Structure 1
Protein backbone atom coordinates (compact mmCIF):
# COMPACT_ATOMS: atom_id res chain seq x y z
CA UNK A 1 0.00 0.00 0.00
CA UNK A 2 2.80 2.33 0.86
CA UNK A 3 4.26 2.18 -2.55
CA UNK A 4 0.94 2.77 -4.25
CA UNK A 5 0.00 6.03 -2.45
CA UNK A 6 2.97 8.04 -3.61
CA UNK A 7 2.21 7.03 -7.17
CA UNK A 8 -1.34 8.42 -7.12
CA UNK A 9 -1.79 11.17 -9.57
CA UNK A 10 -2.29 14.67 -8.05
CA UNK A 11 -5.14 15.13 -10.47
CA UNK A 12 -7.07 12.24 -8.91
CA UNK A 13 -6.52 13.60 -5.39
CA UNK A 14 -7.65 17.09 -6.43
CA UNK A 15 -10.76 15.69 -8.06
CA UNK A 16 -11.65 13.76 -4.93
CA UNK A 17 -11.26 16.84 -2.77
CA UNK A 18 -13.43 18.90 -5.10
CA UNK A 19 -16.20 16.32 -4.97
CA UNK A 20 -16.23 16.19 -1.19
CA UNK A 21 -16.20 20.02 -1.01
CA UNK A 22 -19.13 20.28 -3.38
CA UNK A 23 -21.06 17.70 -1.38
CA UNK A 24 -20.47 19.57 1.87
CA UNK A 25 -21.53 22.90 0.34
CA UNK A 26 -24.63 21.36 -1.13
CA UNK A 27 -25.81 20.38 2.33
CA UNK A 28 -26.03 24.10 3.29
CA UNK A 29 -28.04 25.20 0.27
CA UNK A 30 -31.79 25.79 0.80
CA UNK A 31 -34.10 23.08 -0.35
CA UNK A 32 -36.13 23.90 -3.43
CA UNK A 33 -39.78 24.75 -2.71
CA UNK A 34 -42.17 21.87 -2.77
CA UNK A 35 -44.88 22.03 -5.37
CA UNK A 36 -48.21 23.08 -3.92
CA UNK A 37 -51.48 21.61 -4.90
CA UNK A 38 -53.88 23.93 -6.67
CA UNK A 39 -56.64 25.19 -4.32
CA UNK A 40 -59.85 26.88 -5.29
CA UNK A 41 -60.25 30.60 -4.37
CA UNK A 42 -63.03 29.70 -1.90
CA UNK A 43 -60.71 27.39 0.03
CA UNK A 44 -57.97 30.00 0.14
CA UNK A 45 -59.91 33.13 1.07
CA UNK A 46 -63.00 32.03 3.00
CA UNK A 47 -62.89 29.89 6.14
CA UNK A 48 -65.67 27.37 6.64
CA UNK A 49 -68.94 28.90 7.94
CA UNK A 50 -68.78 26.86 11.13
CA UNK A 51 -65.38 28.32 11.92
CA UNK A 52 -66.66 31.87 11.40
CA UNK A 53 -69.52 31.27 13.84
CA UNK A 54 -67.09 29.99 16.44
CA UNK A 55 -64.85 33.03 16.08
CA UNK A 56 -67.74 35.49 16.42
CA UNK A 57 -69.16 33.86 19.53
CA UNK A 58 -68.68 35.93 22.74
CA UNK A 59 -66.84 34.20 25.57
CA UNK A 60 -69.14 32.80 28.26
CA UNK A 61 -70.02 35.39 30.90
CA UNK A 62 -68.77 38.41 28.94
CA UNK A 63 -72.26 39.95 28.65
CA UNK A 64 -72.85 39.60 32.40
CA UNK A 65 -69.49 41.21 33.10
CA UNK A 66 -70.26 44.10 30.75
CA UNK A 67 -73.62 44.64 32.44
CA UNK A 68 -71.98 44.68 35.87
CA UNK A 69 -69.41 47.17 34.64
CA UNK A 70 -72.18 49.42 33.26
CA UNK A 71 -74.04 49.14 36.57
CA UNK A 72 -71.09 50.35 38.64
CA UNK A 73 -70.30 53.16 36.20
CA UNK A 74 -73.91 54.42 36.31
CA UNK A 75 -74.05 53.93 40.09
CA UNK A 76 -71.02 56.14 40.59
CA UNK A 77 -72.49 58.74 38.24
CA UNK A 78 -75.79 58.68 40.16
CA UNK A 79 -74.09 59.23 43.53
CA UNK A 80 -71.98 62.12 42.21
CA UNK A 81 -74.94 63.72 40.46
CA UNK A 82 -77.17 63.53 43.56
CA UNK A 83 -74.43 65.03 45.73
CA UNK A 84 -74.15 67.96 43.33
CA UNK A 85 -77.84 68.45 42.51
CA UNK A 86 -79.50 68.20 45.92
CA UNK A 87 -77.87 71.28 47.56
CA UNK A 88 -78.73 73.35 44.45
CA UNK A 89 -82.31 72.09 44.23
CA UNK A 90 -83.85 75.59 44.49
CA UNK A 91 -81.44 77.38 42.17
CA UNK A 92 -81.12 75.24 39.03
CA UNK A 93 -82.58 72.37 37.04
CA UNK A 94 -81.52 68.84 37.94
CA UNK A 95 -79.57 66.43 35.75
CA UNK A 96 -82.17 63.87 34.69
CA UNK A 97 -79.79 61.54 32.81
CA UNK A 98 -79.47 59.27 35.85
CA UNK A 99 -83.22 58.48 35.94
CA UNK A 100 -85.37 56.12 33.90
CA UNK A 101 -88.25 57.51 31.84
CA UNK A 102 -90.75 55.54 33.94
CA UNK A 103 -89.38 56.71 37.30
CA UNK A 104 -91.85 56.65 40.20
CA UNK A 105 -91.91 59.33 42.91
CA UNK A 106 -93.47 58.38 46.25
CA UNK A 107 -94.07 60.34 49.45
CA UNK A 108 -96.35 59.51 52.41
CA UNK A 109 -99.43 60.91 50.66
CA UNK A 110 -98.75 60.76 46.92
CA UNK A 111 -97.38 58.66 44.08
CA UNK A 112 -96.47 59.85 40.58
CA UNK A 113 -94.95 58.03 37.62
CA UNK A 114 -93.06 59.30 34.60
CA UNK A 115 -90.06 61.52 34.00
CA UNK A 116 -92.25 64.49 32.98
CA UNK A 117 -94.12 64.38 36.30
CA UNK A 118 -90.78 64.05 38.08
CA UNK A 119 -89.46 67.17 36.36
CA UNK A 120 -92.67 69.01 37.23
CA UNK A 121 -92.26 68.17 40.92
CA UNK A 122 -88.87 69.84 41.12
CA UNK A 123 -90.00 72.78 39.05
CA UNK A 124 -92.89 73.25 41.52
CA UNK A 125 -90.47 73.11 44.46
CA UNK A 126 -88.41 75.93 42.97
CA UNK A 127 -91.40 78.00 41.86
CA UNK A 128 -93.46 77.84 45.06
CA UNK A 129 -90.36 77.99 47.23
CA UNK A 130 -89.54 81.42 45.80
CA UNK A 131 -93.12 82.61 46.34
CA UNK A 132 -93.63 81.44 49.94
CA UNK A 133 -90.11 81.93 51.38
CA UNK A 134 -87.63 84.78 51.49
CA UNK A 135 -84.84 82.25 51.86
CA UNK A 136 -84.94 78.52 51.22
CA UNK A 137 -82.12 76.01 50.88
CA UNK A 138 -81.42 72.33 51.26
CA UNK A 139 -78.47 70.79 53.11
CA UNK A 140 -77.34 67.19 52.62
CA UNK A 141 -76.44 65.53 55.92
CA UNK A 142 -75.41 62.12 54.69
CA UNK A 143 -75.27 59.93 51.55
CA UNK A 144 -74.89 56.16 51.96
CA UNK A 145 -75.82 52.77 50.47
CA UNK A 146 -77.62 50.27 52.72
CA UNK A 147 -77.50 47.83 49.80
CA UNK A 148 -75.94 47.69 46.36
CA UNK A 149 -78.98 48.97 44.45
CA UNK A 150 -80.19 51.60 46.97
CA UNK A 151 -78.90 55.13 47.65
CA UNK A 152 -80.09 56.94 50.79
CA UNK A 153 -79.80 60.68 51.37
CA UNK A 154 -80.67 62.39 54.64
CA UNK A 155 -81.37 66.08 54.06
CA UNK A 156 -82.52 69.19 55.90
CA UNK A 157 -84.62 71.93 54.30
CA UNK A 158 -84.31 75.40 55.82
CA UNK A 159 -86.67 78.26 55.05
CA UNK A 160 -87.56 81.78 56.16
CA UNK A 161 -91.25 82.40 55.35
CA UNK A 162 -92.33 85.70 53.80
CA UNK A 163 -95.19 85.96 56.32
CA UNK A 164 -93.79 88.13 59.15
CA UNK A 165 -95.47 86.28 62.01
CA UNK A 166 -93.92 82.93 61.09
CA UNK A 167 -90.56 81.82 62.43
CA UNK A 168 -87.74 80.25 60.51
CA UNK A 169 -88.10 76.45 60.43
CA UNK A 170 -86.41 73.27 59.26
CA UNK A 171 -88.00 70.48 57.28
CA UNK A 172 -86.11 67.17 57.40
CA UNK A 173 -86.55 63.98 55.43
CA UNK A 174 -84.91 61.01 53.75
CA UNK A 175 -84.78 60.28 50.03
CA UNK A 176 -84.43 56.64 49.01
CA UNK A 177 -83.35 55.95 45.42
CA UNK A 178 -83.65 52.47 43.90
CA UNK A 179 -81.54 51.45 40.90
CA UNK A 180 -82.19 48.81 38.26
CA UNK A 181 -79.66 46.31 36.82
CA UNK A 182 -78.25 49.00 34.53
CA UNK A 183 -77.66 51.46 37.38
CA UNK A 184 -80.54 53.79 36.43
CA UNK A 185 -82.85 55.20 39.14
CA UNK A 186 -86.40 53.91 38.76
CA UNK A 187 -87.90 54.97 42.13
CA UNK A 188 -87.49 57.95 44.44
CA UNK A 189 -89.23 57.62 47.80
CA UNK A 190 -89.36 60.40 50.38
CA UNK A 191 -90.08 59.41 53.98
CA UNK A 192 -89.17 60.16 57.62
CA UNK A 193 -90.58 63.66 57.17
CA UNK A 194 -90.68 66.02 60.13
CA UNK A 195 -90.85 69.74 60.86
CA UNK A 196 -88.31 70.87 63.42
CA UNK A 197 -88.86 74.28 65.00
CA UNK A 198 -87.13 76.01 67.95
CA UNK A 199 -88.21 74.34 71.19
CA UNK A 200 -89.38 77.57 72.75
CA UNK A 201 -91.76 78.08 69.84
CA UNK A 202 -93.08 74.68 68.89
CA UNK A 203 -92.18 70.99 69.32
CA UNK A 204 -91.40 68.87 66.28
CA UNK A 205 -94.46 67.41 64.59
CA UNK A 206 -95.04 65.16 61.64
CA UNK A 207 -95.74 66.68 58.23
CA UNK A 208 -98.77 64.42 58.00
CA UNK A 209 -100.22 65.98 61.16
CA UNK A 210 -99.72 69.47 59.73
CA UNK A 211 -101.33 68.60 56.41
CA UNK A 212 -104.26 66.97 58.21
CA UNK A 213 -104.69 70.10 60.33
CA UNK A 214 -105.10 72.19 57.16
CA UNK A 215 -107.59 70.51 54.82
CA UNK A 216 -107.11 71.17 51.09
CA UNK A 217 -108.44 74.45 49.79
CA UNK A 218 -108.48 75.87 46.25
CA UNK A 219 -107.09 79.19 47.50
CA UNK A 220 -103.90 79.68 49.58
CA UNK A 221 -104.87 80.43 53.19
CA UNK A 222 -102.89 80.86 56.38
CA UNK A 223 -104.26 79.58 59.67
CA UNK A 224 -104.03 81.77 62.78
CA UNK A 225 -104.66 78.94 65.22
CA UNK A 226 -101.94 78.09 67.79
CA UNK A 227 -101.63 74.59 66.34
CA UNK A 228 -100.00 75.69 63.11
CA UNK A 229 -99.14 79.36 63.63
CA UNK A 230 -95.49 78.63 62.84
CA UNK A 231 -96.05 76.13 60.05
CA UNK A 232 -98.68 77.42 57.63
CA UNK A 233 -96.18 78.39 54.94
CA UNK A 234 -94.67 74.92 55.07
CA UNK A 235 -98.10 73.33 54.77
CA UNK A 236 -99.01 75.60 51.86
CA UNK A 237 -95.69 74.80 50.25
CA UNK A 238 -96.46 71.08 50.39
CA UNK A 239 -100.02 71.57 49.14
CA UNK A 240 -98.92 73.92 46.33
CA UNK A 241 -96.45 71.38 44.97
CA UNK A 242 -99.11 68.69 45.20
CA UNK A 243 -101.64 70.92 43.45
CA UNK A 244 -99.21 71.56 40.60
CA UNK A 245 -99.08 67.85 39.90
CA UNK A 246 -102.89 67.67 39.97
CA UNK A 247 -103.06 70.30 37.23
CA UNK A 248 -100.09 69.14 35.19
CA UNK A 249 -102.06 69.36 31.96
CA UNK A 250 -103.10 72.98 32.44
CA UNK A 251 -101.66 75.69 30.24
CA UNK A 252 -100.44 77.50 33.38
CA UNK A 253 -98.20 74.61 34.43
CA UNK A 254 -96.82 74.07 30.93
CA UNK A 255 -96.16 77.79 30.37
CA UNK A 256 -94.39 78.06 33.71
CA UNK A 257 -92.19 75.07 32.89
CA UNK A 258 -90.88 77.06 29.92
CA UNK A 259 -90.68 80.57 31.38
CA UNK A 260 -90.04 80.04 35.11
CA UNK A 261 -87.58 77.13 35.26
Structure 2
Protein backbone atom coordinates (compact mmCIF):
# COMPACT_ATOMS: atom_id res chain seq x y z
CA UNK A 1 0.00 0.00 0.00
CA UNK A 2 2.79 2.35 0.85
CA UNK A 3 4.31 1.49 -2.48
CA UNK A 4 1.25 2.53 -4.43
CA UNK A 5 0.38 5.84 -2.73
CA UNK A 6 3.38 7.86 -3.96
CA UNK A 7 2.32 7.18 -7.54
CA UNK A 8 -1.17 8.60 -7.13
CA UNK A 9 -1.99 11.98 -8.74
CA UNK A 10 -2.18 14.86 -6.22
CA UNK A 11 -5.64 15.68 -7.48
CA UNK A 12 -6.96 12.38 -6.34
CA UNK A 13 -5.89 13.12 -2.76
CA UNK A 14 -7.84 16.41 -2.57
CA UNK A 15 -11.23 16.34 -0.91
CA UNK A 16 -14.15 16.32 -3.36
CA UNK A 17 -16.05 19.09 -1.54
CA UNK A 18 -13.20 21.62 -1.87
CA UNK A 19 -12.80 22.92 -5.39
CA UNK A 20 -9.34 23.68 -6.53
CA UNK A 21 -8.30 27.31 -6.81
CA UNK A 22 -8.25 28.69 -10.35
CA UNK A 23 -5.27 30.87 -11.02
CA UNK A 24 -5.82 33.30 -13.92
CA UNK A 25 -3.13 33.17 -16.54
CA UNK A 26 -0.62 35.94 -16.60
CA UNK A 27 -0.81 38.26 -19.57
CA UNK A 28 1.74 37.31 -22.11
CA UNK A 29 4.02 39.93 -23.53
CA UNK A 30 4.40 39.59 -27.24
CA UNK A 31 6.95 41.40 -29.38
CA UNK A 32 4.75 41.12 -32.44
CA UNK A 33 2.91 44.14 -33.87
CA UNK A 34 -0.47 45.16 -32.52
CA UNK A 35 -3.60 43.74 -34.12
CA UNK A 36 -5.54 45.88 -36.62
CA UNK A 37 -8.15 46.60 -33.97
CA UNK A 38 -5.63 48.28 -31.69
CA UNK A 39 -3.46 49.90 -34.36
CA UNK A 40 -3.11 53.65 -33.92
CA UNK A 41 -4.17 55.80 -36.91
CA UNK A 42 -1.78 58.51 -38.15
CA UNK A 43 -2.84 62.14 -37.56
CA UNK A 44 -5.07 63.55 -40.32
CA UNK A 45 -3.45 65.89 -42.85
CA UNK A 46 -3.94 69.63 -42.52
CA UNK A 47 -6.22 69.81 -45.51
CA UNK A 48 -8.86 67.74 -43.72
CA UNK A 49 -9.42 70.60 -41.26
CA UNK A 50 -10.78 72.74 -44.10
CA UNK A 51 -13.74 70.45 -44.68
CA UNK A 52 -15.71 72.22 -41.97
CA UNK A 53 -15.45 75.54 -43.89
CA UNK A 54 -16.63 74.16 -47.23
CA UNK A 55 -20.38 74.55 -46.60
CA UNK A 56 -19.91 78.20 -45.60
CA UNK A 57 -17.84 78.91 -48.71
CA UNK A 58 -20.44 77.21 -50.83
CA UNK A 59 -23.18 79.29 -49.23
CA UNK A 60 -21.27 82.51 -49.90
CA UNK A 61 -20.80 81.57 -53.54
CA UNK A 62 -24.48 80.76 -53.87
CA UNK A 63 -25.37 84.12 -52.31
CA UNK A 64 -23.17 85.88 -54.86
CA UNK A 65 -24.92 84.06 -57.70
CA UNK A 66 -28.30 84.98 -56.29
CA UNK A 67 -27.27 88.65 -56.04
CA UNK A 68 -26.03 88.53 -59.64
CA UNK A 69 -29.33 87.25 -61.00
CA UNK A 70 -31.32 89.73 -58.92
CA UNK A 71 -29.22 92.63 -60.26
CA UNK A 72 -29.38 91.21 -63.78
CA UNK A 73 -33.17 91.13 -63.71
CA UNK A 74 -33.25 94.66 -62.30
CA UNK A 75 -30.91 95.87 -65.06
CA UNK A 76 -33.06 94.35 -67.81
CA UNK A 77 -36.25 95.87 -66.41
CA UNK A 78 -34.61 99.27 -65.94
CA UNK A 79 -33.21 99.37 -69.47
CA UNK A 80 -36.56 98.35 -70.93
CA UNK A 81 -38.25 101.20 -69.07
CA UNK A 82 -35.53 103.88 -69.42
CA UNK A 83 -34.49 103.72 -73.08
CA UNK A 84 -37.86 104.69 -74.63
CA UNK A 85 -37.82 107.80 -72.40
CA UNK A 86 -34.21 108.99 -72.84
CA UNK A 87 -35.34 112.22 -74.56
CA UNK A 88 -37.84 113.15 -71.85
CA UNK A 89 -36.54 111.63 -68.60
CA UNK A 90 -33.21 110.93 -66.95
CA UNK A 91 -32.00 107.36 -66.47
CA UNK A 92 -31.84 105.25 -63.33
CA UNK A 93 -28.10 105.02 -62.74
CA UNK A 94 -28.27 102.42 -59.97
CA UNK A 95 -27.60 99.63 -62.47
CA UNK A 96 -24.24 101.09 -63.57
CA UNK A 97 -20.79 101.10 -62.01
CA UNK A 98 -19.06 104.40 -61.28
CA UNK A 99 -16.29 103.54 -63.75
CA UNK A 100 -18.63 102.66 -66.63
CA UNK A 101 -17.20 103.07 -70.14
CA UNK A 102 -19.27 104.25 -73.09
CA UNK A 103 -18.12 103.41 -76.63
CA UNK A 104 -19.49 104.28 -80.04
CA UNK A 105 -17.84 103.75 -83.46
CA UNK A 106 -15.78 106.95 -83.06
CA UNK A 107 -15.41 107.77 -79.36
CA UNK A 108 -14.84 106.38 -75.88
CA UNK A 109 -15.82 108.01 -72.58
CA UNK A 110 -15.26 106.68 -69.06
CA UNK A 111 -16.91 107.56 -65.76
CA UNK A 112 -20.45 107.84 -64.48
CA UNK A 113 -20.41 111.65 -64.70
CA UNK A 114 -19.50 111.50 -68.40
CA UNK A 115 -22.19 108.90 -68.87
CA UNK A 116 -24.79 111.15 -67.27
CA UNK A 117 -23.61 114.04 -69.46
CA UNK A 118 -24.16 111.96 -72.60
CA UNK A 119 -27.85 111.51 -71.89
CA UNK A 120 -28.26 115.11 -70.76
CA UNK A 121 -26.79 116.21 -74.11
CA UNK A 122 -29.12 113.86 -75.98
CA UNK A 123 -32.16 115.40 -74.30
CA UNK A 124 -30.93 118.99 -74.61
CA UNK A 125 -29.82 118.96 -78.25
CA UNK A 126 -32.58 116.60 -79.32
CA UNK A 127 -35.20 119.15 -78.32
CA UNK A 128 -33.29 121.95 -80.07
CA UNK A 129 -32.77 120.21 -83.42
CA UNK A 130 -35.94 118.08 -83.71
CA UNK A 131 -39.65 118.77 -83.44
CA UNK A 132 -40.16 115.11 -82.58
CA UNK A 133 -37.56 112.54 -81.55
CA UNK A 134 -38.01 109.16 -79.91
CA UNK A 135 -36.40 105.77 -79.44
CA UNK A 136 -38.17 102.41 -79.69
CA UNK A 137 -36.78 99.21 -78.20
CA UNK A 138 -37.11 96.45 -80.79
CA UNK A 139 -35.54 93.52 -78.98
CA UNK A 140 -33.73 92.62 -75.75
CA UNK A 141 -31.76 89.39 -75.39
CA UNK A 142 -28.66 87.82 -73.81
CA UNK A 143 -26.08 86.22 -76.11
CA UNK A 144 -24.10 85.30 -72.99
CA UNK A 145 -24.60 85.37 -69.23
CA UNK A 146 -22.68 88.61 -68.70
CA UNK A 147 -24.03 90.61 -71.65
CA UNK A 148 -27.32 92.29 -72.51
CA UNK A 149 -28.03 93.28 -76.12
CA UNK A 150 -30.72 95.76 -77.11
CA UNK A 151 -31.73 96.51 -80.67
CA UNK A 152 -33.36 99.95 -80.96
CA UNK A 153 -34.74 102.33 -83.58
CA UNK A 154 -34.20 106.09 -83.31
CA UNK A 155 -36.48 108.36 -85.33
CA UNK A 156 -37.06 112.08 -85.48
CA UNK A 157 -38.59 114.98 -87.41
CA UNK A 158 -36.06 117.86 -87.88
CA UNK A 159 -37.16 121.42 -87.20
CA UNK A 160 -35.83 122.71 -90.52
CA UNK A 161 -38.50 122.63 -93.24
CA UNK A 162 -36.32 121.14 -96.01
CA UNK A 163 -35.61 117.88 -94.16
CA UNK A 164 -38.04 115.00 -93.98
CA UNK A 165 -38.41 112.49 -91.18
CA UNK A 166 -35.39 110.22 -90.75
CA UNK A 167 -34.43 107.26 -88.57
CA UNK A 168 -31.72 104.69 -87.95
CA UNK A 169 -31.22 101.55 -85.95
CA UNK A 170 -28.41 100.50 -83.66
CA UNK A 171 -27.36 97.94 -81.06
CA UNK A 172 -26.41 98.68 -77.47
CA UNK A 173 -24.22 96.07 -75.79
CA UNK A 174 -24.15 96.17 -72.00
CA UNK A 175 -21.45 94.15 -70.23
CA UNK A 176 -21.98 93.12 -66.60
CA UNK A 177 -19.54 92.20 -63.86
CA UNK A 178 -20.01 89.24 -61.48
CA UNK A 179 -22.19 91.42 -59.23
CA UNK A 180 -24.62 92.16 -62.06
CA UNK A 181 -23.56 95.80 -62.48
CA UNK A 182 -23.05 97.31 -65.95
CA UNK A 183 -19.46 98.43 -66.53
CA UNK A 184 -19.50 98.97 -70.33
CA UNK A 185 -22.05 100.29 -72.84
CA UNK A 186 -21.09 99.97 -76.50
CA UNK A 187 -23.16 101.29 -79.41
CA UNK A 188 -22.53 99.68 -82.82
CA UNK A 189 -24.18 98.00 -85.82
CA UNK A 190 -25.74 101.27 -86.96
CA UNK A 191 -28.07 101.15 -89.97
CA UNK A 192 -29.34 104.42 -91.42
CA UNK A 193 -32.68 105.04 -93.09
CA UNK A 194 -32.60 108.70 -94.12
CA UNK A 195 -34.84 110.42 -96.68
CA UNK A 196 -33.92 109.93 -100.35
CA UNK A 197 -31.84 113.11 -100.55
CA UNK A 198 -29.68 111.99 -97.62
CA UNK A 199 -29.37 108.26 -98.29
CA UNK A 200 -25.99 106.68 -98.99
CA UNK A 201 -25.29 105.50 -102.53
CA UNK A 202 -26.12 101.92 -101.46
CA UNK A 203 -29.43 101.54 -99.65
CA UNK A 204 -28.81 100.36 -96.09
CA UNK A 205 -32.40 99.12 -95.96
CA UNK A 206 -31.54 96.55 -98.60
CA UNK A 207 -28.54 95.46 -96.55
CA UNK A 208 -30.65 95.16 -93.41
CA UNK A 209 -33.31 93.13 -95.21
CA UNK A 210 -30.65 90.77 -96.56
CA UNK A 211 -29.12 90.08 -93.14
CA UNK A 212 -30.67 87.15 -91.23
CA UNK A 213 -31.61 87.55 -87.58
CA UNK A 214 -28.52 87.00 -85.43
CA UNK A 215 -27.40 87.68 -81.85
CA UNK A 216 -24.54 89.66 -83.39
CA UNK A 217 -26.02 91.55 -86.37
CA UNK A 218 -23.65 93.54 -88.55
CA UNK A 219 -24.70 96.48 -90.71
CA UNK A 220 -22.76 98.91 -92.85
CA UNK A 221 -22.43 102.51 -91.81
CA UNK A 222 -22.33 104.49 -95.04
CA UNK A 223 -21.42 108.19 -95.44
CA UNK A 224 -24.18 110.77 -95.34
CA UNK A 225 -24.13 112.99 -98.43
CA UNK A 226 -25.41 116.17 -96.78
CA UNK A 227 -23.03 117.01 -93.94
CA UNK A 228 -25.34 119.75 -92.70
CA UNK A 229 -28.22 117.38 -91.89
CA UNK A 230 -29.88 117.65 -88.50
CA UNK A 231 -28.70 114.14 -87.58
CA UNK A 232 -25.06 115.02 -88.19
CA UNK A 233 -25.46 118.28 -86.31
CA UNK A 234 -27.09 116.37 -83.50
CA UNK A 235 -24.13 114.01 -83.19
CA UNK A 236 -21.62 116.86 -83.38
CA UNK A 237 -23.43 118.85 -80.69
CA UNK A 238 -23.44 115.90 -78.28
CA UNK A 239 -19.78 115.16 -79.03
CA UNK A 240 -18.73 118.78 -78.48
CA UNK A 241 -20.58 118.86 -75.18
CA UNK A 242 -18.63 115.85 -73.96
CA UNK A 243 -15.31 117.19 -75.24
CA UNK A 244 -15.64 120.40 -73.23
CA UNK A 245 -13.95 119.28 -70.02
CA UNK A 246 -14.48 122.68 -68.41
CA UNK A 247 -18.24 122.48 -68.90
CA UNK A 248 -19.95 122.07 -65.54
CA UNK A 249 -23.68 121.39 -65.57
CA UNK A 250 -25.64 121.50 -62.30
CA UNK A 251 -26.91 118.13 -61.11
CA UNK A 252 -30.49 119.35 -61.01
CA UNK A 253 -30.20 120.35 -64.66
CA UNK A 254 -28.88 116.89 -65.55
CA UNK A 255 -32.05 115.42 -64.15
CA UNK A 256 -34.61 117.93 -65.43
CA UNK A 257 -33.36 119.53 -68.65
CA UNK A 258 -35.07 118.05 -71.69
- Secondary structure in structure 2 of the residue aligned to 1:59: helix
C-alpha distance in 2 between matches for 1:208 and 1:245: 24
Runs (5+) with no aligned partner, structure 2:
1-50, 205-219
2-structure distance, mates of 1:72, 1:61: 17
Aligned-pair distance for 1:63?
1.2
Say which is worse superposed, 167-176 or 199-208, in terms of deviation.
Answer: 199-208
> Counterpart of 2:173?
176
Instruction: Tell whether 2:187 aligns with 1:190.
Output: yes
1:209 and 2:223 matched: yes
Deviations 1:132-154 (A, max 9, x none): 00000000100000000000000
SS of equivalent residue, structure 1 residue 108: coil
CA RMSD of aligned residues (A): 2.5
1:228 — aligned with what? 226
Please, what TM-score do these two structures have when normalized by structure 2?
A: 0.67
In 1, Cα distance between the equivalents of 2:233 and 2:60? Answer: 50
- In structure 2, the partner of 1:132 is 129
> 1:228: how far off?
1.4
TM-score under structure 1 normalisation?
A: 0.67
- Paired position in structure 2 for 1:159: 156
What is aligned with 1:115? 112
CA distance in 1, matches of 2:142, 2:195: 31
Deviation at 1:200, TM superposition (A): 8.0
8 A contact 2:89–2:255 mirrored in 1: no
Residue 98 (structure 1) shift: 0.2
SS in 2 for 1:152: strand
Aligned residues: 190
Q: How does 1:9-158 map to 2 (within 5 A)?
A: 59-158=56-155
Q: Secondary structure at the match of 1:209?
A: coil
Residue in structure 2 matched with residue 36 of structure 1 by the alignment? none
Point out where structure 1 has 5 or more consecutive residues left out of the alignment. Answer: 1-53, 211-226
1:208 Cα offset (Å): 6.4
Deviations 1:131-187 (A, max 9, x none): 000000000100000000000000000100001001100021000000000000000
Partners of 1:103 and 1:185 within 8 A in 2: yes
